[in-house]
Amino acid sequence: MKRVDRDILAIDLKSFYASVECIDRNLDPFTTPLVVADESRGDGTIVLAASPFIKKEYGVSSRCRLYDVPKDIPNLIIAQPKMKRYLQVSAQINEIYLDYVSEQDLFVYSIDESFLDVTSYLKRNNDTPKSYARKIIKDIREKTGLTVTAGIGLNMFMAKACMDIEAKKAKDFLSQWTYEDIPKHLWSVTPLSKMWGIGSRLEKRLNRLGFYSVGDIAVSDPNFLKKELGVIGEEIYYHSLGYDDALLQESYTASDHSLSVGQVLLRDYSKEEMDVLITDMAYELSDRMYEERVTAKTFVLYIGLKDYTGYGIKISFFTPTDSAVKIAREAILRYRESSKNSPDTTLYRNICFVAVDVKDREVYQTSLFEDYEEDIKIRKLEETMLSIRRRYGTEKAMPCSALTLSSTFINRRTQIGGHHA
């Protein structure tokens, strides 16, 4: 792997949603018991964020269920999510970053996490990576009241790992790693899913191969890992040594990408009800594709069961499409085939739809395997329905299934990221 050392900052807005809610109430996130959750969805709703205080003092974690939060906590605040407000603050933070680096040296990883390449900016005022990071942290604190966690490394992986593993535990929430720090700080990490780039599924595969800590990977044979796991095996081997040849600037120019929509269901759904939800998700995904002017040949429908298991269903077309009718119709057929042998008592709690490897919409190419005239009719109808929804509201043009009790179509169209604005 080619080694390209840079000065990279990985910055995370600490307990972002919860901190914004506290600051908007003139409260200190480090002394206030607050969680962000939509109580209207019932006790089973997910806690989107927990304040640093309630995490430390009561062990309440983000992503737990509301019923896991002790209701006898004195002065407990359950804040309704305000997604527009969080996006507004996130945009403000990004503007602060751009006072310190150019746009090409900033990579916004998520609403509350970003990478900054500060290599070219340190000499101007004889800064070190740490002194420059402290200036940014101080500026964010003074302008927004937010506390941030920052990791400094010689590449994106090292900076992110430093932030996740050490900086979050540091008194000033700031740490820096070099290659010499990797054996001491990274190799002892276990379970493996605590390392950036290793999810729960990959962790299980690694465990079956006898790997339980990052150090186990670091002293292994990269050829063996590549043989067993493919390219990802070789990548995590180099990551275990602190190496990463990805440049932050290249993150902007990925040629292929996917689009996805999904939701955690607010109650148990039966087999018969899933057709409606698949239709809902197909329309939501189709609208996003239309807005971004992209199409795809391949889609994946992920179904999550109540017992936390699940599976994916691949749907393929001869020509690229963004048609909700076509996507929903084919996905329902595939779902019915996949579930016909499952018990009628099977219950579902998650659904996600992904358009894989989307491409810019091009001039339509006819296919011998598809009905061209029917596709034109569907296209005109869907464009008309989308236009009506934009101008007059969701309820004025929607599939009939949206009127059923199982549908979440209307409710989700008034939300941002699955939550009320």
DSSP letter for each residue of 157-200: HHHHHHHHHTGGGSTTSEEE--GGGHHHHTTT--SGGGSTT--H
CATH of 184-248, one of 1.10.150.20, 1.25.10.10, 2.40.50.140, 3.40.50.720: 1.10.150.20
Residue 170 has a pLDDT of: 95
For the stretch 186-210, pLDDT in tens is: 999 999 999 998 988 899 999 999 9
Least confident of 26-30, 149-153, 171-175, 406-410: 406-410
Q: Do 116 and 7 contact (CB within 8 A), yes or no?
A: no
For the cut 80, the answer to whether the pLDDT of residue 339 exceeds it is yes
For the cut 70, the answer to whether the pLDDT of residue 363 exceeds it is no
Mean pLDDT of the chain: 86
CA dist 386 and 394 (Å) reads: 9
**CATH classification (class only), 257-420:** alpha beta
Residues 16-84, CATH architecture: 3-Layer(aba) Sandwich (3.40)
Residue 369 has a pLDDT of: 44
Q: Say which residue, 41 or 75, is predicted with more confidence.
A: 75
CA dist 126 and 238 (Å) reads: 32
For the stretch 314-329, pLDDT in tens is: 888 878 888 888 899 9
For the cut 90, the answer to whether the pLDDT of residue 420 exceeds it is no
Claim: this prediction has a pTM higher than 0.75: no
For the cut 70, the answer to whether the pLDDT of residue 371 exceeds it is no
Q: List Cβ neighbours of 264 (8 Å cut-off, separation of 6 or more).
A: 46, 349, 350, 418
Please report, for the chain, the start and end positions of each structural domain, with discontinuous segments joined by +. 16-84, 184-248, 257-420
For the record, the structure tokens of 336 come out as 């019915």
Q: Say which residue, 296 or 380, is predicted with more confidence.
A: 296
For the record, the structure tokens of 340 come out as 């016909």
CA dist 14 and 30 (Å) reads: 11
The confidence band for 214, taking pLDDT boundaries of 50, 70 and 90, is very high
352 phi and psi angles, rounded to 5 deg: -145, 140
